[in-house]
């Protein structure tokens, strides 16, 4: 549990972080974490269906939802301060008392199958799905959070109940509450609502390792006007002391309109409408990803220019002033984000789940300030290596014909 009193706010946010995500799943039940997330909102004895659950929260001006990642399932609610007990009761009810009815499961499986088809139809999403399959081949991290058609059809009610029994445990759960609330009131609600939840042994995930030694390319033909590219490089764990250097490298290269990639590829050379970088962090590894959406006739030049920017930062062209600006951007964005009760509850809950204690803003700010130019360069040299490049391409290309040609481009790094 982590609670932060924000007496100047009119709202309270509650986040439940459960250590159950797609990397914990058996292949035959791939997508079960996400399916359970959906099923939690289908009804309890107290609130019979999705409408009754949502009306309790939305009827008081609040919001309630959930999402699933590769490592966690997170449920959240934000309500006016005086409605804290109501909101907490609803969250506890759906986590502890969901009925998981067979008829609801049948309907929800059909909805998720449509969701899978939807993402296959969106090139920007498909290119990231393909990249994960390349980087994490034959590993749960390479599997879609949604599952696939076969695995979703395989999942039965008994599988849901067994998975919940295994992972929905107090020693695998963090409750994060922020806003105009007293700690004693939160403790009282936790004791009241979660007293029957029992601790148990939690299944471990399969570790991921960086053992890549050749560049890899995947091409998916799709009749599109644009070509969608996604580069991925195996990186450091989110628990690494170099995490803040990694975050700053991401900001410098591809975060925002002032980033190197945006300025060079979109502003100066007009090679792409959208280009940005992002990091997928996990407990044992990460991937540093760069997305580019470009005209198909400019694909080769876009790849060349992207790699050129990575080469530059490896070769020590980062200046103190550029790093200083990135630090200010990092600290400023984090500070603004943490003004919101819900964002703060997510931040504190995830920090507690990962580190066993909530990090303070001053602590994080201090670690950001400690990063030096040479830390960024060292990290770039260790990550942006040509035999560790993974590239996914979605567009009007044929794999066999074009793969060799694009692979030769990657050797420029």
What is residue 78's three-state secondary structure? Answer: strand
Taking a C-beta distance cutoff of 8 angstroms, is the pair 248, 323 a contact? yes
Q: Is 229 helix (H, G, I), strand (E, B) or coil?
A: strand
Three-state DSSP class for 226? Answer: strand
Report how far apart, in Å, the C-alpha atoms of 315 and of each of 8, 379, 380 are: 48, 12, 9
Distance CA 55, CA 45 (A): 16
CA–CA separation, 330 and 370 (whole Å): 13
- Is residue 30 a contact partner of residue 148, using CB atoms and an 8 Å limit? yes
Burial (0-12, 13-18, 19+ Cβ within 10 Å), 106: exposed
**Of residues 25, 37, 128, 309, which has the active-site annotation?**
37
Interacting residues of 342 by C-beta distance below 8 A, sequence separation 6+: 11, 13, 15, 76, 78, 178
Q: Pairing relation of β-strands 390-395 and 216-221?
A: parallel
Spatial distance between the Cα atoms of 140 and 31, rounded to a whole number of angstroms = 11
Residue 52 is encoded by which pair of tokens? Answer: 């009754």
Our answer to whether residue 4 is catalytic in this structure is no
* Residues assigned a catalytic role: 37
């Amino acid at each position: 549990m982590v609670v932060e009193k924000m007496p100047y706010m009119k709202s309270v946010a509650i986040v439940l972080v459960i250590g159950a995500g797609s990397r914990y799943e058996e292949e035959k039940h791939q997508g079960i974490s996400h399916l359970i997330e959906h099923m939690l909102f289908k009804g309890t004895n107290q609130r019979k269906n999705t409408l009754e659950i949502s009306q309790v929260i939305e009827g008081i001006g609040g919001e309630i939802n959930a999402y699933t990642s590769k490592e966690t399932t997170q449920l959240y609610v934000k309500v006016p301060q005086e409605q804290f007990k109501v909101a907490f009761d609803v969250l506890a009810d759906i986590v502890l008392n969901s009925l998981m009815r067979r008829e609801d499961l049948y309907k929800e499986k059909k909805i998720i199958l449509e969701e899978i088809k939807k993402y296959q139809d969106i090139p920007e999403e498909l290119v990231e799905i393909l990249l994960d399959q390349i980087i994490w081949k034959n590993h749960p991290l390479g599997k879609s959070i949604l599952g696939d058609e076969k695995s979703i059809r395989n999942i039965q009610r008994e599988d849901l109940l067994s998975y919940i029994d295994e992972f929905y445990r107090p020693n695998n759960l963090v409750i994060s509450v922020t806003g105009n609330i007293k700690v004693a009131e939160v403790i009282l609600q936790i004791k009241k609502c979660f007293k029957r939840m029992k601790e148990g042994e939690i299944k471990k995930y399969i570790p991921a390792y960086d053992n890549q030694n050749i560049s890899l390319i995947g091409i998916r033909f799709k009749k599109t006007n644009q070509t969608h590219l996604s580069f991925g490089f195996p990186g450091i764990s989110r628990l690494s002391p170099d995490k803040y250097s990694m975050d700053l490298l991401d900001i410098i290269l591809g975060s925002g309109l002032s980033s190197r990639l945006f300025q060079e590829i979109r502003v100066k050379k007009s090679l792409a409408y959208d280009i940005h970088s992002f990091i997928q962090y996990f407990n044992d590894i990460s991937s540093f990803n760069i997305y580019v959406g470009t005209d198909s006739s400019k694909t080769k030049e876009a790849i060349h220019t992207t790699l050129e920017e990575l080469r530059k930062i490896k070769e020590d062209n980062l200046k103190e002033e550029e790093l200083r600006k990135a630090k200010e951007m990092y600290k400023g964005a984090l500070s603004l984000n943490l003004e919101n009760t819900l964002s703060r509850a997510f931040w504190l809950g995830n920090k507690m789940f990962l580190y066993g204690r909530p990090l303070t803003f001053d602590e994080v700010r201090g670690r950001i300030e400690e990063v030096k130019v040479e830390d960024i360069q060292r990290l770039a040299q260790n990550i942006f290596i040509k035999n560790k490049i993974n590239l996914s391409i979605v567009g009007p290309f044929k794999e066999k014909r074009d793969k060799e040609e694009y692979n030769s481009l990657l050797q420029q790094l």
